């Protein structure tokens, strides 16, 4: 099987010839090393290109970027230094809101000042959501699919579900926790506006050429409690899963945190793939337990970054073997690199990635013996 077919066979619940090993393109090296890794089995997953576009006719956004150092000769060095602050102001017919982000590793942005700071900000955020108009925009996605060829897949990445977006992008943990208890009417009202708008987006995604839809939800059960997950996430996942399944799509959800308390609820959802599942020590469910609990779902497991970062290469190899044995015989199972394990240009990173890929190639032939 080629790399793409191997991964797709797992995602379609078919038998692969071997366990797929994948890495997001942003976490894969470039050039000779990339080709070498692909040649020994590393399948690339591109998440860079959405299948929809959007416009906001009545809302404008101004962005200011603050950097700690700058050179006309090397304008982008500030990014590498991770001291970049992005200050965004949204002007809407009902008011203005402001948010600040810091840019971190791999250019990920982390909020340092949330958009919703006061109760009146709910109205402004609702106005922005209401004003958003989605439209199909699949040309670039199709180009990426062609570029990936048989060496990987392009997945349509979608933003966090409404609840997770409110928690992680719009108000932060403290405001979220307090407003959920003390301003429930406003909280629920915003959620509902958000939910309806995202469903408009998913209708477009469902009609797109993408076969895999990856919802970037970053769930951690310690924060998104079973009650929140059951009341908000489960019905939302099921609603979009019905929509996507009707058009033959596979719904994967990025669930990379501690999930033990959500274990049974996740089993009940209609999602197809638990993506970025992370076993202990970062996660709190073993692969055996996850496989037993989530029968019928694909477990796309993240290789734990703590092992990658700290361990000697022989321990990395042993860990890969242990994971593969836990997943034996290996149906509905893929292994992936879904979180930073260091500077992708460093020798250490390349050695770890090579060790993982080689070990999967050596021990991951399907079906895998349990011991």
Binding residues for another protein, rule: CB under 8 A, are 82, 102, 104-105, 110, 112, 173-174, 176-178, 180-182, 221-223, 225-226, 228, 257-258, 261, 281-282, 305-306, 308-310, 339-343
Please report the beta strands in 190-323, taking only residues with DSSP state E, as ranges in sequence order. Answer: 212-215, 250-254, 273-277, 298-302
Pairing of strands 95-103, 109-113: antiparallel
In the complex, minimum distance from the CB of residue 284 to another protein, in angstroms, rounded to a whole number: 10
In the complex, minimum distance from the CB of residue 229 to another protein, in angstroms, rounded to a whole number: 10
CB-nearer residue toward another protein: 267 or 305: 305
Query: Six-digit token pair at 238?
Result: 């099921």
CB-nearer residue toward another protein: 305 or 313: 305
CB-nearer residue toward another protein: 82 or 322: 82
Residue 109 three-state SS: strand
CB-nearer residue toward another protein: 26 or 309: 309
Residues whose CB falls within 8 Å of the CB of residue 144, separated by 6 or more in sequence, listed in order: 46, 48, 49, 154
In the complex, minimum distance from the CB of residue 351 to another protein, in angstroms, rounded to a whole number: 15
In the complex, minimum distance from the CB of residue 267 to another protein, in angstroms, rounded to a whole number: 18
In the complex, minimum distance from the CB of residue 187 to another protein, in angstroms, rounded to a whole number: 12
CB-nearer residue toward another protein: 252 or 344: 344
Query: Six-digit token pair at 216?
Result: 């970037």
Q: What is the dihedral of CA 358, 258, 191, 172, to 10 degrees?
A: -100
CA distance 87 to 98: 7
**Strands of 109-113's sheet, edge to edge?**
60-66, 85-92, 95-103, 109-113
CB-nearer residue toward another protein: 147 or 305: 305
In the complex, minimum distance from the CB of residue 107 to another protein, in angstroms, rounded to a whole number: 12
CA distance 45 to 106: 16
């Amino acid at each position: 099987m080629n790399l793409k077919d191997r991964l797709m066979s797992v995602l379609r619940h078919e038998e692969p010839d071997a366990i797929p090993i994948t890495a997001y393109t942003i976490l894969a090296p470039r050039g000779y090393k990339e080709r070498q890794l692909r040649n020994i089995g590393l399948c690339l997953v591109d998440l860079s290109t959405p299948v929809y576009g959007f416009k906001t006719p009545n809302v404008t956004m101004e962005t200011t970027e603050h950097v700690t150092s700058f050179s006309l000769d090397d304008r982008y060095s500030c990014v590498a230094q991770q001291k970049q602050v992005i200050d965004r102001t949204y002007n809407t017919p009902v008011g203005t809101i402001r948010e600040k982000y810091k840019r971190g590793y791999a250019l990920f942005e982390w909020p340092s000042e949330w958009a919703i700071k006061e109760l009146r900000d709910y109205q402004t955020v609702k106005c922005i959501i209401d004003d958003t108009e989605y439209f199909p925009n699949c040309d670039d996605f199709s180009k990426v699919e062609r570029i990936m060829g048989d060496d990987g897949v392009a997945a349509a990445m979608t933003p966090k579900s409404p609840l997770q977006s409110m928690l992680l992008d719009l108000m932060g943990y403290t405001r979220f926790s307090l407003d959920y208890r003390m301003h429930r009417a406003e909280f629920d009202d915003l959620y509902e506006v958000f939910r309806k708008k995202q469903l408009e987006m998913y209708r477009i995604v469902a009609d797109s050429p993408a076969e895999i839809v990856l919802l970037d939800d970053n769930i951690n059960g310690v924060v998104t409690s079973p009650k929140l997950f059951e009341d908000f996430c489960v019905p939302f996942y099921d609603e979009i899963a019905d929509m996507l399944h009707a058009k033959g799509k596979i719904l994967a959800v990025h669930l990379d945190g501690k999930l033990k308390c959500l274990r049974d609820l996740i089993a009940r959802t209609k999602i197809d793939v638990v993506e970025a599942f992370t076993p202990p020590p970062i996660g709190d469910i073993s692969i055996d337990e996850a496989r037993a609990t989530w029968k019928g779902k694909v477990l796309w497991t993240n290789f734990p970054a703590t092992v990658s970062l700290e361990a000697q290469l022989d321990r990395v190899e042993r860990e890969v073997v242990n994971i593969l044995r836990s997943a034996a015989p290996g149906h509905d199972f893929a292994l992936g690199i879904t979180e930073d394990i260091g500077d992708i240009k460093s020798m250490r990173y390349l050695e770890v990635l090579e060790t993982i890929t080689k070990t999967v190639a050596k021990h991951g032939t399907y079906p895998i013996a349990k011991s």
